[in-house]
């Protein structure tokens, strides 16, 4: 059975307690003063705990602090800032180091780890730290583990910048009779692509595969980031003939609008005799070639990523015909959702 709380009333009368409670602005102190007020009213610690949604232990702790020092005893005493092992100047040096790979810092390893950082700090600054401290340093410098993206080292940064500037100018200066369509092709096979999935802890998901020859289909696509219009064509292969077919279809669908079409430098996009054939058959489309190895500048790449996630990731269909059927169904959904496409495939410049 809970005992009656002992209260040192030398620190103030009940009226003074009520006055302090009414004028207190700090929310935490106000709750503590209310606990003292209830104690002055002869309420037991467990009863006060129920009223304030606390534990009896917490209430008795507040009463002990009040009995020793009164109102000031209820205040939290700020703890002195703990001395940091690494100085600010050293943290700046560590930050510079972590932006490089270990090999660029003369360490024969590919990736930074807590133990490797611990070892490096010992060699560089002659300071012993724990493994936990090394991970705290990652956190203090706002590093987190993410999967890096691959980027071809042959990319010409200057050409990328020039393309971005040209694209931005094109978007800004185009008139109402001109539209921009990002064009590309994506290959989908009868075999599933695998990505991370939710599984029970300690279990590993299993995705079945056919074990046979991969069959494939190609989707030609062109998307308008401004309106969400999507033009697509399913083909068995991606070559000059199927590309011509798609361009003729897009030209007819968009005429008389003028079309500026960013696309990559695939060989069938630059086939022999293209200029003459283009002049005779495609009156309203101008191809704007992306710099080499720069698919990240093509907005429609985000569409392919979305389609794979929705249809082919972690799923084995009966055959390629079944795969194509599901692909067409999802592409149909997207075609009827222009708002989703404008968000999914924005202008890139």
- What are 206-248's pLDDT values in tens digits? 999 988 888 999 999 999 999 999 999 999 999 999 999 999 9
Assign 260 to helix, strand or coil. strand
* Banded pLDDT at 198 (limits 50, 70, 90): confident
Exposure string over 186-216, b if 16+ CB within 10 A, otherwise e: bebebbbeeeeeeeeeeeeeeeeeeeeeebb
Judged by DSSP in three states, 262 sits in strand
What is the model's pLDDT at position 80? 64
pLDDT the model gives residue 220: 98
* 275-324 pLDDT per residue, tens: 999 999 999 999 999 999 999 999 999 999 999 999 999 999 999 999 99
Beta bridge partners of 138: none
Instruction: State the average pLDDT over residues 125-130.
Output: 93
pTM over 0.75: no
User: pLDDT grade, residue 83 (50/70/90)?
Assistant: low
């Amino acid at each position: 059975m809970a005992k009656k709380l002992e209260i040192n009333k030398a620190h103030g009368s009940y009226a003074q307690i009520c006055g302090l409670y009414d004028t207190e602005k700090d929310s935490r102190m106000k709750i503590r003063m209310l606990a003292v007020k209830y104690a002055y009213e002869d309420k037991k610690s467990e009863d006060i705990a129920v009223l304030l949604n606390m534990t009896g232990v917490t209430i008795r702790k507040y009463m002990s602090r009040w009995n020793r020092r009164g109102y000031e005893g209820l205040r939290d005493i700020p703890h002195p800032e703990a001395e940091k092992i690494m100085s600010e100047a050293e943290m700046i040096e560590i930050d510079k180091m972590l932006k490089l790979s270990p090999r660029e810092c003369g360490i024969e390893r590919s990736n930074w780890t807590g133990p490797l950082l611990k070892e490096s700090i010992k060699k560089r600054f002659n300071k012993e730290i724990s493994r936990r401290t090394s991970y705290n340093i990652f956190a203090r410098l706002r590093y987190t583990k993410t999967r890096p993206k691959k980027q071809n080292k042959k990319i010409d940064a200057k050409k990328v910048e020039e393309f971005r500037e040209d694209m931005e100018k094109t978007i800004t200066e185009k008139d109402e009779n001109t539209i921009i369509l990002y064009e590309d092709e994506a290959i989908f096979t009868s075999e599933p692509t695998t990505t991370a999935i939710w599984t029970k802890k300690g279990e590993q998901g299993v995705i079945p595969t056919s074990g046979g020859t991969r069959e494939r289909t190609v989707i030609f696509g062109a998307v308008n980031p401004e309106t969400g219009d999507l033009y697509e064509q399913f083909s068995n292969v991606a070559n000059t003939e199927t590309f011509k077919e798609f361009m003729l279809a897009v030209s007819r669908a968009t005429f008389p609008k003028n079309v500026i079409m960013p696309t990559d430098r695939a060989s069938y996009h630059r086939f022999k005799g293209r200029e003459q054939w283009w002049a005779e058959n495609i009156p309203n489309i101008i191809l704007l070639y992306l710099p080499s190895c720069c698919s990240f500048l093509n907005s429609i790449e985000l569409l392919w990523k979305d389609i794979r996630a929705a249809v082919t990731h972690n799923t084995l269909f009966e055959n390629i015909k079944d795969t194509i059927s599901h692909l067409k169904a999802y592409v149909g959904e997207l075609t009827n959702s222009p708002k989703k496409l404008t968000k999914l495939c924005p202008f890139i410049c």
